[in-house]
Chains A and B, each alone.
Chain A
Amino acid sequence: MTSYAFRLAIQSILHEKWINLLSMITIAVCFLIMAITALSVYNIDLATKTLPEKFSIMIYLKDNLSSEDSKNIINTVKKDTAIETVRFIPKDEAMKELKSFLKNTEYVLEGLDENPLPDSIEIKLKKEAVGPDSVKKLAERLKEIKGVSEVEYVEKFLSSLYSVKVGFKTLGIIFIIIMSVGIIFVCYSTVKILFYRRNKEIETYKLLGATKGFIRAPFIIEGSVIGFSGGLLSLIGIVSLYYTIILRLSLTIPLFKSIIFPAHIALFLPLAGVTLGITGAAIAIGRLRY
């Protein structure tokens, strides 16, 4: 019974090879765009995960604090659970850093008798504590501490980092959903065309006593084969794209070196093809009536 279904499906696939090939290629292109989107979102997500390590908050202390006071402040800061590391930067060291930063344009500092820089504390946060709201609250807490004159961090950096990340993810997911619907639609139309073309044949099947399953099975198989082939074709496409373009580019542009190609995408594409293909075919056949 099932072997007949497979034979009928294969006969039909070969017989209508141009329609089938066309939809396979269309599906492959959709999947390719989908895979590139997923790959980009995946890599952006990965990149933004390492960024919080670079994020720091500067605490500037008031002038003329005793070293005792400074120590107290440092100890209070250290107690905060959100904080990973604390580094005290005395104003002399800050000056040194500034001078080495300016290097050849050091002369702009000439004429300063006194070091105008304050003592400061640089803190780094635990990864999970880096977020627009949590940092804002922390900064407010730090400002309350006696002897602290100012708390500074790059607010824009944080909020834009998060909106970029969330934005890309949402956009990517919406895009992937649209593409999936597109693939279902391609399978749907293909199977619908084949179904209409064989309408007379199907009527005869029914009259000769075929069950609905017997009639449906070849179309479902055909849909899944089209979807699977589309997925496989796109997989070949994305792998060759990766090896020819990205790997070669990474030799000259270091940014490309950090692009990661997740291997499970290789399984996902043909599998998604089968699922979407079957869905499209099932919708195309619809309810059969005797």
Chain B
Amino acid sequence: MIQFQNVSKHYENQTALRNITFSIDKGDMVFINGPSGSGKTTLLKLIYLAEKHDEGNISIAGFEVEKLKESSIPLLRRNIGFVFQDFRLLDNRNVFENVALSLMIRGVSEKDLKTQVYESLKIVNLRHKADSSPDALSGGEQQRVVIARAVVTEPTIILADEPTGNIDPDLSAGIIRIFKDINAKGTTILIATHNRDLFRNSGKRVLKLDNGNLVGDEKG
């Protein structure tokens, strides 16, 4: 589903990823772990093409990224659900509309849109906040709206960047359970996190990054 072959990424004055090679199969749930600044977000950005890699080859859901035409970028992104580290919720729209946006972009009909949005809000336990503005939500609630927006389209891949960054340990465990449920239905999931508690004893695969290098590939 996701293949990296000797991939490197340089920003103007530093190298964020160095010669990374790994492969993730369809239906896997994988954690990406490493200290702050180790390159976790950069790695996810290369997958959804928010950044371009400088060396190596990347293949995502059958798309070879180097050969991808610009007009195909939206098609690739529509296979992916994102949980951004900085949320990217629109504060001039309520929770329902924020979640619905993913579906509108894909041209889902009005009727289907409503049921799907409410369903995914139910998964993250925020059905009752549908009419609230994101500004009026707690950090943890905002985090869950972002997760609802990522899962509502039933993508083949979910990329979650620090999905428990603002959340207490109990709620974090709940969110990981949500991802596990979705993964059980066959969705490939990548979770970037610096929090080892999330995958300790989970039996899931963990890719370890340090200073832009892939330093470990083990079971958590």
A positions within 8 Å CB-CB of B: 1, 3-4, 15, 200-201, 203-212, 214, 289-290
Contact = CB atoms under 8 A, between A and B. Distances in A.
Nearest to A214: B105
Contacts of B90: 200-201, 204
Contact of A208 (B70, B75, B77): B77
Contact of A209 (B78, B88, B110): B78
A3 B75 CA distance: 21
A209 B75 CA distance: 7
Contacts of A210: 74, 105
Contacts of B77: 207-209
Contacts of A208: 77, 82, 101-102, 105, 149
B73 interface: yes
14 contacts: A4-B107, A200-B90, A201-B90, A204-B88, A205-B101, A207-B84, A208-B102, A209-B74, A209-B80, A209-B102, A211-B105, A214-B105, A290-B73, A290-B74
Given A15-B92, A290-B73, A290-B74, A207 B105 contact: no
B50 A207 contact: yes
B106 interface: yes
Contacts of A212: 71
Nearest to B78: A209
B4 interface: no
B48 interface: yes
B103 to A, nearest CB: 10
Contacts of B88: 200, 203-204, 207
Instruction: Determine the interface band of chain B, counting residues with CB < 8 A from chain A.
Output: 20 to 34
B173 interface: no
A201 B77 CA distance: 17
B110 A3 contact: yes
Main secondary structure of the interface of A (DSSP, over half): helix
A53 to B, nearest CB: 64
B105 A205 contact: yes
Nearest to B80: A209
- Most A CB contacts (10 A, CB to CB) among B73, B80, B104, B106 go to B104
Contact of B104 (A4, A204, A207, A290): A4
Contact of B106 (A3, A204, A206, A209): A209
Contacts of A3: 110
Interface string B110-149: 1000000000000000000000000000000000000001
A94 B82 CA distance: 100
A75 B3 CA distance: 101
A95 B150 CA distance: 103
A126 B90 CA distance: 73
- Most A CB contacts (10 A, CB to CB) among B70, B84, B101, B102 go to B101
Contacts of A214: 105
B70 A290 contact: yes
A212 B71 CA distance: 8
B111 to A, nearest CB: 12
B99 to A, nearest CB: 11
B184 interface: no
Contact of A211 (B49, B74, B84): B74
B166 to A, nearest CB: 19
A231 to B, nearest CB: 29
B87 to A, nearest CB: 10
Nearest to B105: A210
Contacts of A201: 90, 92
Interface in B79-99: 80, 82, 84, 88, 90, 92
